Amino acid sequence: WGRYWGWDTKEVWTFIIWVVYAGYLHARSTRGWRGTASAVLNLIGFGTILFNYAVVNVYFEGLHAYSGL
């Protein structure tokens, strides 16, 4: 603790989620992505959320462990 960024596994995957959804919002607003391309990027973002919740919590250790999961 005592630092802003510690390269913890949970922090890194949460950052990846932010980047994916920022890319999604950027693509929708500036490039006009609609329909299939937008849905695929959104599903990739949702997949990273599921990975972060299911895999990172169970198989990786770090500062952000939740009650022994």
Residue 31 has pLDDT above 90, yes or no: no
pLDDT digits (tens, 9 = 90+) for 32-60: 888 898 899 999 999 999 998 888 877 77
The pLDDT assigned to 19 comes to 96
- Model confidence, pTM: 0.77
15 pLDDT above the threshold of 90: yes
User: What is the reported pLDDT for 26?
Assistant: 92
List, in sequence order, every beta strand (DSSP E) within the chain.
Answer: none
- Give the per-residue pLDDT at 65: 59
Contact 24, 34 (CB under 8 A): no
User: Is 16 in a helix, a strand, or coil?
Assistant: helix
The pLDDT value given to residue 11: 87
- What ranges do the domains of the chain cover? 23-61
